Amino acid sequence: MLNHLSHGKFKAYSAGSSPRENQKPNPLAIVTLQNAGISTEGLSSKSWDVFAEPNAPQMDLVITVCDNAAGEVCPYWPGQPATAHWGYADPSEGTGSDTEKLEAFKQTLYQIKRRLEIFTNLPSSSLNKIALEHTARELADK
């Protein structure tokens, strides 16, 4: 979503602490993104460990988003990027009908979108490492 909203201002990557074994994102997540007009081309489930490898892209900011991730030990991020946690319930753990599950994904998408819209409209003076981390952490309360 950040790549979609920022129009090239940022380059975002996605990974998780325990990706799906079949390396395919949750189908309901894909449908939710597509319904919101966000490209899903090239998306795959991957461990956040791939971003600690020698040839990984340099990160300026790492934001964990799953409630479960808040208590997990994160890997060492090369370059020691700013970090923040934006907690959301994992919509893939929801129960109910497919319609209810899809609604949970949609609500999570809109919550993330609200924070990212604020983030992407920040002035560049707010994007140095210390300000970036402070601002990203502040957005967790919005």
pLDDT in tens, 30-82: 999 999 999 999 888 888 888 888 888 888 888 888 766 556 677 777 788 88
How many domains, the chain?
A: 1
- What CATH number does the domain containing 85 carry? 3.40.50.2300
User: Structural domain of residue 33, as residue ranges?
Assistant: 2-139
Global model pTM greater than 0.85: no
How far is the C-alpha of 130 from the C-alpha of 98, rounded, in Å?
42
**C-beta of residue 85 within 8 angstroms of C-beta of residue 63:** yes
**C-beta of residue 129 within 8 angstroms of C-beta of residue 82:** yes
